[in-house]
Structure 1
C-alpha cells in the first residue's frame, strides 16, 4: 500500500496533479499549479486574484483564495469571504457536472451572502441573484462552463456581468 502524501505539518495532502476544476489527474500528468494556502492578502488583492482565477475557469482555486481571506481577515468580514468561497465551490461542482452539489452550494452561498453589505467593490445583491439563477439553471440540466459563467465581482473581469 502506498504511503499517503503529507505536508510538513503531517496533514494529508495528495501530490497528484489537479486540473483547473480541482479534479485529481493521474500521477505524472501535467496539471494546474495549486494555490498556496494561508496567504494573507489585502481585500483588493483577494478580489483581483480570485477574479483572475474565475476568469481562467478555475473556481476551485478562487475558492482557496476566498478561504484564505475568510480565515485571516477580520471576523466582521468572514460572512462575505465564506459566502464567496461557497459560490466558487458551487460553480466548481456545477462545472464538474455535479448538479445536486453545485446547486446546493450556490444556494448555500447565496443564503450566507443575503444581508451582507457590499464591500470591496463587490455587488453582493447581484451576486446573490446570479447564484440563485445559476442554481436554477443547473437543476434544470444546464451544462456549465466555469469561465463563461464566472461572475464579475467588481471592476474588471471577463466573466458574466451581474445585473
Structure 2
C-alpha cells in the first residue's frame, strides 16, 4: 500500500527528509498548539521560529504570551533559543524553564508519567540555578514561585491521573 502523502513515511515526495534553509533536518509537517505533528496539508498553528536571539525581557514576555495562549511547546522553543544564545552564566536558568514548558506540554498531551517528571526536572534545574546565582528574581521572574508551580502541577497530574489544560495551568513568570 502506497502513501498518498508523499514518501515512504508520509513525508515529502520521494522519501527525502524535510530540510531547513541551512540543510538541517526539520519537519515541515504542520503542528497543533501543543506541538504534535499533524498530517501534511492539515491546518496547523504558526510555528515558532528557531534560533532567534532575543534579550531576556523579550524572551520572558514572548514565552509568557505563548504559555497564556496554551502553547507551551512553542514557549519551550523561545526558552531554548535563550538557553543556546544567551550568556553562559544563564544557560541553566533557560534550560530549566524550557524543561518546565516541555513538562507542561506533556502533561497537557496526557503523558502522565513524562509530564510530571519533566516538570520536576525543570523545577530542580531552576532551583539549582537560583541557589548558584544567589538570586530569586531575575529578569522580573519570581523564580521560587515558578519552582513551586512546577512541583505543584506535577503533584496534581499524578494525583488526578488526568491531563491538564495548558492555558489554564500556565505559570505566571512575573
Instruction: Provide the TM-score with structure 2 as the length reference.
Output: 0.86
**Structure with max Cα Rg:** 2
Q: Which runs of 4+ in 1 moved over 6 A?
A: none
Offset at residue 85 of structure 1 (A): 0.4
For the Cα contact (< 8 Å) 2:56–2:82, is it kept in 1? yes
* Residue correspondence of structure 1 range 133-148 to structure 2 within 5 A: 133-140=152-159, 141-148=161-168
Q: Distance in 2 between matches of 1:134 and 1:128?
A: 10
What secondary structure does 1:67 align onto?
A: helix
1:18 aligns with 2:37: no
Q: Distance in 2 between matches of 1:104 and 1:16?
A: 27
Gaps of 5+ in 1: 155-163
Offset at residue 99 of structure 1 (A): 0.9
Q: Aligned to 1:132, which of 137, 142, 151?
A: 151
* Residue correspondence of structure 1 range 1-163 to structure 2 within 5 A: 1=8, 2-115=15-128, 116=130, 117=135, 118-140=137-159, 141-154=161-174
Q: Distance in 1 between matches of 2:162 and 2:92?
A: 28
Q: Distance in 2 between matches of 1:56 and 1:17?
A: 18
Offset at residue 4 of structure 1 (A): 1.3
Instruction: Provide the TM-score with structure 1 as the length reference.
Output: 0.91
Q: Distance in 2 between matches of 1:142 and 1:17?
A: 26
Q: Which residue of 2 aligns with 1:161?
A: none
Gaps of 5+ in 2: 1-7, 9-14
CA RMSD of aligned residues (A): 1.0
